[in-house]
């Protein structure tokens, strides 16, 4: 995301100094020759754009990490799943993880939405659908003896993970997806990006609902 | 074993707002504010450049009989730019726990802002044309007047911050009441530099 130069007074002050320098050069060049002024303006604008784009790509990825929440023998598992949340493969993994420890499972269903609706802030329908999927899944987990609670998360699965990471403090993240070829999340490399972004063990579970 | 969903079941009143850590509400507010201001000034600059573009054969700019007081406006620009330095000093002072520096910085910033606004009003009174004198007159007063209105709002914010500073508000940890007007003030300065360079110099 672009860095807003007006997010703190110090950054706004730096932006002001740069603006002074920028226009001083343009005006000085324009005083010599109008077209030289235009050229300097274009050149400086291109330079600023190039620096801005360069700074965006060179920004080191800061990995989000969390401290262990709760008791010593407690294991907190964050499950990110959408349609596959009730799959047997996922339930098997959760059961294995829960053996011998006091498990706390938080299931997050991202409120997947269309781009147009997202920008129009029209996410009521997406959240309601996600809530419905979540409640069905939680009921199924409860039947299987998994102590789980759930919440609807951000439409972006990575953001939903980050939000939950800060509030829940999981020891592990389990990402459940459809098989390759049918999974939009795998197409977008959500699992790979999550491994780069979060300093928490991540397990990827493939759930084939068509079997 | 239990399973439950964290939703608003049994919650009374309006729905609980979904809050994501993607962007803080205050930063988002500043983003939207700056974006709206940029569009507002952008509309006026578009009108200004339109007036210039439709007069490609003009021997000089502005067209006769308009004359702009470049030197006086330049001095005014220097005053406004200096007020940004004192604003920055005020904030740096409170960050270091220097209350006298905060108070002095805010008072100087306010006085310089006020001097800018008074000088601009005097300039309006003596400039020799008015908003109804053609497209250039309209856009000149529109653009500089729009900026002047922003300076006035900034002065109001600064006045509140200054009074609070003298009443003992703000600490090195909590000084949002200075930082936010400071951001606004720098924005107003940036806009003036663009307005001055565009209308008076280029």
B193 CB neighbours in chain A (<8 A) are 16, 19-20, 23
Assigned domain for B142 exists: yes
CATH number at residue B196: 1.20.120.80
Q: Does A80 share its domain with A126?
A: yes
Question: Which domain, by its residues, includes B151?
Answer: 25-201
A8 in contact with chain B, both atoms CB, cutoff 8 A: yes
Least confident piece of the model among A91-100, B6-15, B150-159 = B6-15
Assigned domain for A68 exists: no
Specify the pLDDT at position B186.
93
Assigned domain for B182 exists: yes
Give the tens place of pLDDT for each residue, A19-56.
Answer: 999 999 998 998 888 889 889 999 999 998 888 787 76
CA dihedral B42, B45, B51, B55 (to 10 degrees): -110
| pLDDT interval class at B5 (50, 70, 90) | very low
Assigned domain for B104 exists: yes
Assigned domain for A175 exists: yes
Q: Which two tokens stand for residue B155?
A: 């002065």
CATH number at residue A155: 3.40.50.620
Q: Does A114 share its domain with A174?
A: yes
- Work out the mean pLDDT of chain A and round it to a whole number: 83
How many domains does the structure of chain B reveal?
1
Answer yes or no: is pLDDT of B178 > 70. yes
Assigned domain for A67 exists: no
**C-alpha angle with apex B138: B134 to B144, nearest 5 degrees?**
145
Q: Does A107 share its domain with A44?
A: no
Average the pLDDT over B36-47 and give the result.
92
Specify the pLDDT at position B22.
56
Distance from C-alpha of B192 to C-alpha of B202, rounded to nearest angstrom: 14
Q: Does A40 share its domain with A139?
A: no
pLDDT greater at residue B14 or residue B114: B114
Q: Does A137 share its domain with A162?
A: yes
Answer yes or no: is pLDDT of A208 > 90. no
A19 CB neighbours in chain B (<8 A) are 190, 193-194
**8 Å CB contact between A79 and A176:** yes
Residues 6+ apart with CB under 8 A from B124: B141
Answer yes or no: is pLDDT of B127 > 70. yes
- DSSP-derived 3-state class of residue B107: helix
How many domains does the structure of chain A reveal?
2
Specify the pLDDT at position B8.
44
Pairing of the two strands B3-5 and A202-206: unpaired
Give the closest-approach CA distance of B187 to chain A in angstroms: 7
Residue A160: which of A123, A116, A117 has the closest Cα?
Answer: A123
A126 CB neighbours in chain B (<8 A) are none
Assigned domain for B117 exists: yes
Q: Does A115 share its domain with A194?
A: yes
Dihedral sign for Cα A88, A93, A99, A104, please. Answer: negative
Assigned domain for A135 exists: yes
Average the pLDDT over A71-81 and give the result.
83
Q: Does A46 share its domain with A78?
A: no
Question: Are the beta carbons of A23 and B197 separated by less than 8 Å?
Answer: yes
B88 in contact with chain A, both atoms CB, cutoff 8 A: yes
Tell me what ipTM this predicted complex has.
0.79
Assigned domain for B126 exists: yes
pTM of the model: 0.66
Number of Cβ within a 10 Å radius of residue B178: 27
Specify the pLDDT at position B117.
96
pLDDT greater at residue A67 or residue A128: A128
CA dihedral B34, B40, B41, B47 (to 10 degrees): 160
Give the tens place of pLDDT for each residue, B80-124.
Answer: 999 999 999 999 999 999 999 999 999 999 999 999 999 999 999
Residues 6+ apart with CB under 8 A from A11: A3, A4, A5
Give the closest-approach CA distance of B202 to chain A in angstroms: 6
- Concatenate the DSSP letters of all residues of A110-166 into one string: E----HHHHHTT--HHHHHHHHHHHHHHHHHHHHTT--EEEEEE-SSHHHHHHHHHH
Q: Which two tokens stand for residue A90?
A: 């996922």
Assigned domain for B87 exists: yes
Q: Does A80 share its domain with A159?
A: yes
Specify the pLDDT at position B15.
55
B201 CB neighbours in chain A (<8 A) are 27, 30-31
Assigned domain for B136 exists: yes
Give the tens place of pLDDT for each residue, A165-197.
Answer: 888 888 899 998 888 888 888 888 899 999 988
Count how many Cα atoms sit within 13 Å of the Cα of residue B68 in the half-sphere of its side chain: 20
Q: Does A53 share its domain with A87?
A: no
**C-alpha angle with apex A136: A134 to A141, nearest 5 degrees?**
90
Q: Does A39 share its domain with A82?
A: no
What per-residue string of b and e applies to A156-183 under the rule 16 or more CB within 10 Å gives b? bbbebbbbbbeebbbbebbbbbbeeeeb
Q: Does A48 share its domain with A131?
A: no
Specify the pLDDT at position A43.
94
| pLDDT interval class at B18 (50, 70, 90) | low
CA dihedral A155, A161, A164, A168 (to 10 degrees): 160
- Work out the mean pLDDT of chain B and round it to a whole number: 86
Assigned domain for B14 exists: no
Q: Which two tokens stand for residue B126?
A: 């003596």
Question: Which domain, by its residues, includes A195?
Answer: 74-206
Specify the pLDDT at position B4.
47
Assigned domain for A81 exists: yes
Number of Cβ within a 10 Å radius of residue A45: 12
Specify the pLDDT at position A159.
87
Residue B161: which of A17, A4, A13, A9 has the closest Cα?
Answer: A9
Q: Does A98 share its domain with A180?
A: yes
Phi, psi dihedral angles at A198 (to 5 degrees): -115, 135
């Amino acid at each position: 995301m672009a860095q807003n130069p007006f997010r703190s007074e110090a950054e706004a002050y730096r932006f002001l100094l740069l603006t002074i320098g920028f226009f001083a050069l343009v005006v000085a060049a324009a005083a010599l020759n109008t077209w030289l002024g235009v050229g300097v303006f274009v050149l400086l604008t291109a330079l600023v754009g190039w620096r801005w784009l360069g700074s965006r790509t060179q920004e080191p990825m800061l990995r989000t990490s969390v401290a262990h929440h709760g008791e010593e023998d407690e294991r907190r598992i964050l499950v990110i799943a959408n349609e596959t949340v009730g799959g047997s493969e996922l339930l098997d993994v959760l059961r294995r993880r829960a053996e011998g420890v006091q498990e706390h499972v938080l299931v997050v269903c991202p409120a997947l939405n269309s781009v147009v609706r997202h920008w129009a802030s029209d996410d009521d329908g997406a959240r309601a659908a996600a809530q419905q999927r979540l409640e069905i899944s939680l009921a199924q987990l409860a039947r299987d003896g998994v102590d789980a609670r759930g919440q609807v998360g951000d439409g972006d699965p990575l953001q939903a993970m980050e939000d939950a990471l800060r509030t829940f403090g999981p020891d592990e993240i389990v990402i459940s997806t459809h098989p390759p070829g049918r999974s939009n999340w795998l197409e977008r490399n959500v699992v790979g990006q999550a491994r780069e972004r979060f300093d928490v063990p991540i397990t990827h579970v493939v759930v084939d609902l068509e079997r | 074993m239990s399973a439950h969903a964290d939703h608003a079941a049994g919650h009374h009143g309006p729905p609980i707002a979904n809050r994501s850590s993607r962007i803080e509400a205050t930063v988002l507010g500043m983003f939207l504010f700056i974006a709206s201001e940029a569009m507002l000034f952008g509309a006026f600059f578009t009108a200004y450049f339109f007036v210039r573009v439709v007069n490609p054969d003009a021997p000089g700019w502005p067209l006769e009989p308009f004359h702009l007081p470049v030197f006086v406006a330049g001095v005014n620009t220097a005053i406004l730019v200096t007020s940004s330095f004192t604003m920055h000093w005020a904030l740096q002072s409170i960050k270091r726990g220097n209350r006298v520096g905060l108070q002095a910085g805010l008072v100087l910033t306010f006085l310089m802002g006020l001097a800018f606004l008074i000088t601009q009003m005097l300039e309006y009174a003596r400039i020799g044309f008015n908003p109804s004198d053609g497209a250039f007159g309209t856009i000149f007063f529109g653009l500089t007047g729009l900026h002047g209105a922003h300076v006035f709002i900034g002065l109001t914010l600064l006045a509140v911050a200054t009074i609070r500073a003298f009443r003992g508000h703000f600490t090195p940890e909590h000084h949002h009441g200075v930082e936010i007007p400071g951001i606004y003030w720098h924005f107003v300065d940036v806009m003036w530099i663009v307005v001055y360079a565009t209308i008076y110099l280029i």
